Amino acid sequence: MSESYLNQSSFNQPAWRNALAGLQMLFVAFGALVLMPLITGLDPSVALFTAGIGTLLFQFITKQQVPIFLASSFVFIAPIAYSVQTWGVAAAMGSLFVTGLVYVLIAGIVAVRGAGFLHKLMPP
């Protein structure tokens, strides 16, 4: 994506359209950053902080080529809720940290060896 494309398409929208997009992001952020931690028994302020840091890092690494907001994933609700109830918040946080490390490891392997690695690991 060229820089001129970003300037023309993303930032020159009418105010009502920007307000509508902002309202949409408010509902997305509330669901992902407040509701999900409350359901799993975790602290929403931690989710807000880490989502902000993750989004800033992602935008820095990709040089703002991808318009995205990183937030909590509802995929992990059941395992997190079970982990918090069974072993406590510390164990749940530790398991989420290890899950993040596994993601980084797999991303590194894909970056070096290509996506074919995933097809060998998990055939369609």
pLDDT digits (tens, 9 = 90+) for 36-87: 888 888 888 988 898 889 889 999 988 888 878 888 778 888 888 899 899 9
Label residue 90 by pLDDT band (50, 70, 90): very high
Given pLDDT bands bounded at 50, 70 and 90, which one contains residue 108? very high
Say yes or no to pLDDT of 1 above 80: no
Spatial separation of the C-alpha atoms in residues 51 and 33, rounded to whole Å? 8
**Annotated domain spans of the chain:** 1-72, 75-124
pTM of the model: 0.61
Per residue in 25-41, is it b (16+ CB within 10 Å) or e — as a string?
Answer: eeeebeebbeebbeebe
Identify which has the larger pLDDT, 69 or 7: 69
**Whether pLDDT at 2 is above 70:** no
Q: Which pLDDT score is estimated for 83?
A: 92
Residue 3 has pLDDT above 90, yes or no: no
Chain segment 31-46, per-residue pLDDT in tens: 778 888 888 888 889 8
Within a 13 Å sphere around the CA of 113, how many CA atoms are in the beta-carbon half? 12
**pLDDT above 90 coverage of the chain, percent:** 24
